[in-house]
Amino acid sequence: MRATVQRLTLPFLIFVSALLAVLGKADVLLFDRVRVVLADTLAPVLQVAGEPIVTVSKAIGTVKEAASVYRENQELKLANQRLMQWQEVARRLESENEELRNLVKFAPQGAVSSVAAQVIADSGGAFLRNILVNVGQSEGVTRGQPALTGDGLVGRVIELGDRTARILLLTDINSHIPVVVEGTHERAMLNGDNSDQPRLVYFQPKTPVKPGDHIVTSGSGGVFPPDLPVGVVVSVNGVIRVEPYADLARLEMVRIVNYGLDGVLPDGAMPAPPPIGGGRSRTTSAR
């Protein structure tokens, strides 16, 4: 009897895992709940375990920085000069802007609040681009909120626990973000494909896009506010690719921002997921 059980364990477990992997797509909600609880429980462990890694990478960073202090200093002096000029321009524009606002009685967008979050886990897989951060519902984070670094957009919250949130990076194959090309106001979608540079897909190309064009969110769909910096076009041969401003491979801290938007449907408000093999994206896209 014991021998039979032992002989059947392997085929049984292989069958169960294959079944789960195939069905998982059909019943995401159950897994979502399990994994949120698990992530919440293990968050302190991951955070503590991550500390030495942060220390080591900081040390490496310090050594690298020390080596380039002189050159950087020269560069900074130049950059500082340039920025002083820009500051001058900004001051002038600010006062001009204020005058014009007074003129048209323009009301600026609603209050914005943000929470800083530490990255505690990285999916690290070949076909996944997401991160786990150490803030959640208890800090007022809700699903769909954008995550930013000082450089630009990182992604948005797709899963929410009490103390953790999972952020789908804009490079993930399930990420679709409505964007515009700055200057031409050409609307497009920025679709991740798990590579470091997501693809820009146009609806109706009128003005050709060229390397160096800046991409910002369009605000369509109500998930992201308009004009968040996303990235810069780097190649246009056949596939248009965008290099995100944020360094997605080395995220340590992100800011999750509440713009008071509610473009993402709450849990349970979604229709049943499509049958297996039917849909290509697991999560609701930002359309």
Partner 1 sequence: MPYSRNRDYFGFVARMVPGTTTILFALLSLLPFHVPSFGSIAPGFALMAVFHWSVYRPDLLPLSVVFLAGLLLDLLNGTPYVGLSALVLLLVRTGVLSQRRVFSHRPFSILWLGFFGAAVGAFALEWAFVSLMQVHAMTPRPFVFQTLITTACFPIGSYLLALAHRAMPALSA
Using CB under 8 A as the binding rule, whether residue 68 contacts partner 1 is answered as no
What count of other Cβ atoms lies within 10 Å of the Cβ of residue 17? 10
Using CB under 8 A as the binding rule, whether residue 123 contacts partner 1 is answered as yes
Q: What single-letter DSSP state applies at residue 226?
A: T
Query: 3-class SS at 125?
Result: coil
- Closest to partner 1 by CB, 6 or 204: 6
Which residue stretch of 21-29, 94-102, 135-143, 180-188 sits at the interface with partner 1 (rule: CB under 8 A)? 21-29
Using CB under 8 A as the binding rule, whether residue 131 contacts partner 1 is answered as yes
Using CB under 8 A as the binding rule, whether residue 17 contacts partner 1 is answered as yes
Using CB under 8 A as the binding rule, whether residue 59 contacts partner 1 is answered as no
Report d(CA 69, CA 151) in Å as an integer.
22
Select from 14, 79, 239, 265 the one that contacts partner 1 (CB under 8 A). Answer: 14
Using CB under 8 A as the binding rule, whether residue 277 contacts partner 1 is answered as yes
For 56, list phi and psi in degrees, rounded to 5: -60, -45
Interacting positions 81-110 with partner 1 (CB under 8 A): none
What six digits make up the tokens of 74?
């020269």
Using CB under 8 A as the binding rule, whether residue 54 contacts partner 1 is answered as yes
SS3 of 124-192:
CCCCCCEEEECCCHHHCCCCCCEEECCCCEEEEEEEECCCCEEEEECCCCCCEEEEEECCCCEEEEEEC
- Closest to partner 1 by CB, 108 or 277: 277
Buried b / exposed e over 236-253, threshold 16 CB at 10 Å, is eeeebbbebbbebeebee
Using CB under 8 A as the binding rule, whether residue 228 contacts partner 1 is answered as no
User: Which residues contribute to the site for partner 1 (CB under 8 A)?
Assistant: 9-10, 13-14, 16-22, 24-25, 28, 31, 34-35, 38-39, 42, 45-46, 49-50, 53-54, 56-57, 60-61, 64, 119-132, 159, 166, 173-174, 193-196, 248-252, 277, 280, 282
